[in-house]
């Protein structure tokens, strides 16, 4: 197999990407997000990134993920093709008030950063005792899944 040193269409595409993205500026990370029971899971693809180069911060309801990928080539290597983006990548998530950001956890495995954010206790369904004069209290279930009846 031979590597092509010059592909005019790929080179034009790469130059357009660099011009529109500001060269080596921040880039987005592909994500998958879903709810699993009483927690939300967000997975971000960060192939080729060292776990030490991943930074997750939470401020109020905003989660910021920053990562940096360095090129594999070293000094003296002859570059033939460079289509792998390097530099800093970043992504921000705005979380709802129903999530407990103080208990957010993050795990990095095989190039995937997985964050787990539990639902806040105050947002979980709970039982409320309702009573009136001359009767026993009645239990009504409330929460996001079932509206309370008056």
Q: What is the pLDDT along the chain (150 residues), one digit of tens a residue?
A: 344 445 556 566 666 665 665 444 445 688 899 989 889 999 999 988 999 999 999 998 889 999 999 888 999 999 888 888 888 888 888 888 888 888 999 999 999 999 999 988 776 777 777 877 776 666 666 665 544 444
- 3 state DSSP class of 97: coil
What integer pLDDT is reported at residue 1 of this predicted model? 38
| Whole-number Å distance between alpha carbons of 124 and 28 | 32
Segments making up each domain of the chain, as ranges: 24-73+84-142
Alpha carbons 27 and 51: distance in angstroms, whole number: 18
The predicted structure's pLDDT at residue 42:
94
**What length is written for the chain?**
150
Q: H helices of the chain, where? A: 8-20
Pair of tokens at residue 130: 């309702």
Q: What is the pLDDT of residue 25?
A: 46
| Confidence at residue 20, expressed as pLDDT on a 0 to 100 scale | 60
Predicted confidence at residue 32, as pLDDT, reads 93
* Per-residue pLDDT tens digits for 4-48: 445 556 566 666 665 665 444 445 688 899 989 889 999 999 988
Q: Which strands sit side by side in the sheet containing 54-59, from one edge to the other?
A: 54-59, 62-69, 87-94
Closest by CA position to 83, among listed 1, 13, 8, 2: 13
SS (H, E, C) 105-145: EEEEECCEEEEEEEECHHHCCEEEEECCCCCCCEEEEECCC
Q: Quick one: fold of 24-73+84-142?
A: Immunoglobulin-like (2.60.40)
CA 28/CA 25 separation, integer angstroms: 10
What's the confidence (pLDDT) of residue 130?
81
The reported pLDDT for the residue numbered 45 is: 94
């Amino acid at each position: 197999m031979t590597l092509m040193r010059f592909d005019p269409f790929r080179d034009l595409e790469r130059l357009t990407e660099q011009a529109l993205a500001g060269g080596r500026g921040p880039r987005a990370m592909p994500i998958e997000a879903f709810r699993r029971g009483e927690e939300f899971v967000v997975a971000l693809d960060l192939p080729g990134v060292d776990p030490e180069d991943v930074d997750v911060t939470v401020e109020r309801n905003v989660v910021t993920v920053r990562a940096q990928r360095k090129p594999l080539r070293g000094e003296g290597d002859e570059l033939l093709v460079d289509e792998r983006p390097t530099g800093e990548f970043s992504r921000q998530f705005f979380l709802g008030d129903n999530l407990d950001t103080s208990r957010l956890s993050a795990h990095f495995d095989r190039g995937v950063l997985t964050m787990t954010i539990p639902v806040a206790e105050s947002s979980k369904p709970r039982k409320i005792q309702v009573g009136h004069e001359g009767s026993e209290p009645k239990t009504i279930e409330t929460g996001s899944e079932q509206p309370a009846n008056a």
